[in-house]
Structure 1
Amino acid sequence: MFYVVAVPKSLASTAKLSLDFALRKMMKDHYVFRHLNACEKMGYATTICCDKRETLTTNRMTVVQAYVGEKHWKNVETPDRAKEIIIPDNIKEIICESVSVNSSYSSKLLVN
């Protein structure tokens, strides 16, 4: 079995130019990347979290304050403190639906 795929010659150069343009713009804005493929991965992001100095970190950011259902909790970075937060069921349902819609590739979701 053989597959024949036609790829335009300009496709590779278009992708290279696009990446080059993005890198130059980020360098002008003083962004630093240790790995070039991080730029491509960032293109797929829908939400980007950064710390107070606007630097991206590893996937280890923690919540230190929460404002949910018109209540504000401070210092919730430890699991023991987080357990003290009591969120009404209707607010939990709204949060669950919001996270599901914002993190799925399909609009067909089942919320239990």
Structure 2
Amino acid sequence: MSVRLTFRLADTHPELTRVLRYGGLPYIHADFGLGPRALRDIEKGNASGRFRVDNPLVALSAVGGSLLGLLQLKSSDKSDKSGQAGPGADEQMAELILRMLGLTPEEAHEVARRPLPVGAS
């Protein structure tokens, strides 16, 4: 859900996503902000057996880099003419990340397409 919500920030808060695109990489492993929470979620997923990653910090790097890359794609000339990275790009990225973390392809597909909270889309 967080991947999809962050991706949609590009439409609602373009100035914030510009900051993330150009300066967000150092914040992935910062001791404040979303990084520690994302790391906690990866560790909880690992502890529950839902995720299967050997090193949660490496997984955090992959998740953060993937999201920043998708935000950059959305703003690039590689996007389609409407300025989108393609239909469902947020769901596709969420699914890929979930698979990378250890969910089966079927489960990742289902989870990545669950409805977002009301008012979040």
TM (normalized to structure 2)? Answer: 0.23
More helix by share: 2
More strand by share: 1
TM (normalized to structure 1)? Answer: 0.25
Higher RCO (CA-CA < 8 Å; seq separation 6+):
2
Bigger CA radius of gyration = 1
